[in-house]
Amino acid sequence: MSELNIFVAGEWRVGGGEEMLSTFPADGSINARLHAASLDDVEQAISAADQAWRAASWRGLLPHQRALILARAADLISQQQEELAQLQTQDNGKPLAETRGLVASAAATARYFAAACEVLEGEWPSNRQPALLTLSQYQPLGVVAAITPWNSPIASEMQKIAPALAAGNAVIVKPAEATPLLALRLAQIFEQAGLPRGLLSVLPGRGSVIGEAIARHPLVRKLSFTGSTNTGRRLAHIAADKLIPTSLELGGKSASIVLADADLELAARGIVYGIFSSAGQACIAGSRLFVHRSLYQPLRQRISELSRQLRLGDPRQPGIHIGPLINHAHRERVQSYVQLALAEGGHLLFGGEPPAAPALSQGSYFQPTLLEGLSNQARVCQEEIFGPVLVMLPFDDEAELLTQVNDSLYGLAAGIWSQNLGHAMQLAEQLDVGTVWINTYKVFSIATPFGGFKQSGLGREKGRDSIKAYMQQKSLYLALNPHPNLWSD
Ligand code: ADP
């Protein structure tokens, strides 16, 4: 078992804080020991970052030179794809098929923002006065904090690091307590790719201590956060006090909607994937299923059959669909939601507890679970469970459907299953959510903006304009034929 250093201000060192462990959720074995960052490490990392982004060695780089560093990092990630995927599976228990996808996504994100950096252009507004040229340029913000959750490390970290560096900033990464390994590997990769010292620090530690100290630091000029809505709200307060921008990627309670004309098999497969992949530990998990009453029984039947075929088990083994939840405490939380649903009058169709297989007894596994008989007002339909728990609700007409789908504090995503695309597009338009999938679910493109409505977030990640979320505009007025200013009277 390895002892890991953390990466502070361009230096690998033992963190000054408490001991932390990375454990394999499938059996509780220890992957690595490390020491968290201390408040002193935070201070050093941020002051080095503030010097590093201002230094000519970074500020003086032309866009294609910055892009080259990101492109090299992408190549290094691609070369180590399998090893990184395995490491991530050890760190958070997601099946290898999924972690391979996350690693590939991180490389693609770095390449995409390398390109966005090269093609980013300022503006040359049209002349409103003779002999006056106005220009507007995009400049970096300075030191950016990237605070990330445990469910998709490397991908969520790169979604923040790549646009922030491409835009010319320095970045302080605070990975989730449970999953420090991939963020530290990313630091090594960027170091190898030639990123100047001090531009990237990775500071593992407790969110309430280290995350909060980073967010409050006066030199940190942007908070880019993915995680729970409560923490996001807390960070938004900190940002409001400092008057700095945020990008907040928060929770969800997304709906899958099956209209009467849906392709039943396509819908059943998409719904099962949408909620049970990643064991439901995804902000976009399709956790509420609204089904037209005419399809309710056959769809319930098909979802049950498909779910029985899912293989739970060691996420390192091929063919496994569902690994363990991140830890036992989280599993207890998921299970308590099932108990709550039953207390609220729900019926359990399958799952609802850990698997019985002795081989899985050490891991924090939880079976795919289907509930029905609840209203959209039930707490399990309103609160994010972040586990493999699906609630099925029938509907009769679309006005009622719309009211219920939109009756949520969240507004992250939705899926619509229908063979009438025009109609599905019209329905999509009326949903208060940031992403709608039609006849598919949980597929992503780095070129397409992602983010939430309502309490699911603020700002958008992905898409070529998202580099501008890490920049500020500076406008210049240039007199082409200077003469003394006149009073307006
Ligand atoms: P989750 O429930 O997914 O752990 P959190 O929002 O608690 O969601 O955590 C997401 C990230 O935010 C983690 O890196 C965590 O350490 C960090 N975090 C938690 N609380 C705070 C806080 N008060 N200030 C800054 N970061 C925090």
% of the chain exceeding 90 in pLDDT: 97
Q: Does residue 153 have its Cβ closer than 6 Å to ligand 1?
A: no
Residues 153 and 183: beta-carbon distance below 8 Å? yes
User: How many domains does the chain contain in total?
Assistant: 2
Say if residue 244 is in the same domain as residue 316. Answer: no
Burial class (CB in 10 A: 0-12, 13-18, 19+), 342: middle
Average pLDDT (201-230) is: 98
Nearest to 321 by CA among 96, 105, 101: 96
pLDDT of residue 1: 56
Catalytic one of 98, 177, 212, 249: 249
Is the per-residue pLDDT at 234 higher than 90? yes
Q: Does residue 419 have its Cβ closer than 6 Å to ligand 1?
A: no
Tell how far the Cα of 273 is from the centroid of ligand 1, in angstroms.
26
118 included as an active-site residue: no
- The Cα–Cα gap between 162 and 391 comes to 37
Catalytic one of 117, 212, 283, 384: 283
**CATH number for 185:** 3.40.605.10
11 included as an active-site residue: no
pLDDT of residue 418: 98
Residue 486 lies in a domain: no
- The Cα–Cα gap between 480 and 431 comes to 51
Q: What separation in angstroms does the CA of 368 have from each of 272, 312, 415?
A: 9, 9, 19
- pLDDT-derived band at 486, boundaries 50, 70, 90: confident
Q: Does residue 215 have its Cβ closer than 6 Å to ligand 1?
A: yes
- 351-402: per-residue pLDDT in tens? 999 999 999 999 999 999 999 999 999 999 999 999 999 999 999 999 999 9
Say if residue 245 is in the same domain as residue 271. Answer: no
% of the chain exceeding 70 in pLDDT: 99
Residue 481 lies in a domain: no
Is the per-residue pLDDT at 489 higher than 80? no
Say if residue 183 is in the same domain as residue 217. Answer: yes
Ligand 1 probe mutation, 20, 231, 330, most atoms within 8 A of CB? 231
249 included as an active-site residue: yes
Residue 470 lies in a domain: yes
Residue 449 lies in a domain: no
Q: What pTM does this model have?
A: 0.97
242 included as an active-site residue: no
- 135-148: per-residue pLDDT in tens? 999 999 999 999 99
**CATH number for 382:** 3.40.309.10
Range of the domain at 117: 2-250+456-475
Say if residue 210 is in the same domain as residue 276. Answer: no
Residue 150 lies in a domain: yes
- The Cα–Cα gap between 249 and 146 comes to 11
- 145-178: per-residue pLDDT in tens? 999 999 999 999 999 999 999 999 999 999 999 9
Given the CA of residue 175, which atom of ligand 1 is nearest to it? 14
Tell how far the Cα of 209 is from the centroid of ligand 1, in angstroms.
10
Nearest to 261 by CA among 167, 377, 96, 398: 398
- pLDDT-derived band at 488, boundaries 50, 70, 90: confident
Catalytic one of 160, 174, 253, 442: 160
Say if residue 164 is in the same domain as residue 231. Answer: yes
What is the Cα gyration radius of the chain? 24
Nearest alpha carbon, ligand 1 atom 16: 207
Q: Does residue 354 have its Cβ closer than 6 Å to ligand 1?
A: no
Say if residue 25 is in the same domain as residue 150. Answer: yes
Tell how far the Cα of 222 is from the centroid of ligand 1, in angstroms.
16
